[in-house]
Amino acid sequence: MGFVPNAASDPFLCSSTQEEHAVHMRLGVALEVARIIFLDDQWGFLDTGTVPCTVVQVKADFVTPPGVAEYMKRMMTVEVVVINTMGHFLQLFVPQR
């Protein structure tokens, strides 16, 4: 129940509808998403990419700490842009930032 409000840049921006959708996700879908997130490790392939890209890192992300973007910068041709805010899914909750 607490994941969705914490993933928002401001827990008050999280609507009850967004939280309800997360809570009522079908178990099979939730397990597959969790499996991909936690078990589908692709770190070993980071240094094989050849296309420059930009990683957007939120300063206070409770899911992905800044060290992840720093590591990606060392391993890839990547520019890191840090947004001075909090949250994990900024593109969903506050896309204007």
- β-bridge partners, 75: none
pTM beyond 0.85, yes or no = no
30 and 53 share a domain? Answer: no
56 and 80 share a domain? Answer: yes
The CA-based dihedral angle spanning residues 74, 53, 49, 73, taken in that order and rounded to the nearest 10 degrees: 10
34 and 48 share a domain? Answer: no
Domain residue limits at 48: 42-88
9 and 23 share a domain? Answer: yes
33 and 52 share a domain? Answer: no
pLDDT at 30 over 80: no
Tell me the per-residue pLDDT of 67-96, one tens digit each, with 9 for 90 and over. 999 999 999 888 999 988 877 777 766 666
Residue 93 included in any domain: no
Q: What total of structural domains would you count in the chain?
A: 2
49 and 84 share a domain? Answer: yes
Report the distance separating Cα 59 and Cα 90, nearest Å: 12
Residue 94 included in any domain: no
33 and 57 share a domain? Answer: no
70 and 84 share a domain? Answer: yes
